[in-house]
Amino acid sequence: TPSPAARNFTLNFTLTNLRYTADLTDPSSRRFLSTVKVTNHYVDSLLQSSSIGSVYTGCKLMRFRSGTHRDHTGIDAVCSYQTDANLAKFNREKVYHELSTMTDGVTKLGHYSLDNNSLCVDG
């Protein structure tokens, strides 16, 4: 049997209690590195608990971006999972609804607050 193939999906959301600053654009800054570490921890925990948890292989934060308010920071990530003929097809709507539920209606991600209109899962 062929080995599972890696597939990607994008995950975007906005944190409303993380002020966007220039050091979030510098991948070598302490703030960038610590924010990536914390954010990845929360996102990994959610996705490992979702319907794709058994095939989820991780997310790579691609960038932080300025939000609509100065205290908001947008996050863009590319996430991966393994798939093959024996696995169900990735269902982005199902994953979106699961993440919405697990984040209290897209309001909380660990100690971060979320813009409840910002979550996007794109397969």
- State the CATH number of the domain containing residue 41: 3.30.70.960
Q: What is the pLDDT of residue 112?
A: 96
Residues 6+ apart with CB under 8 A from 90: 7, 9, 52, 81, 83, 123
Q: What is the pLDDT of residue 70?
A: 82
Q: What is the pLDDT of residue 2?
A: 56
Number of domains the chain contains:
1
Q: With DSSP H G I counted as helix, E B as strand and the rest as coil, what are the percentages for the chain, rounded to 5?
A: 30, 35, 40
Domain that holds residue 94: 5-122
Single out the residue of 112, 30, 46 nearest to residue 73, CA to CA. Answer: 112
pLDDT tens, the chain, 123 aa long: 556 788 999 999 999 999 999 999 999 999 999 999 999 999 999 999 999 998 999 999 999 999 888 889 999 999 999 986 666 678 999 999 999 999 999 999 999 999 999 999 997
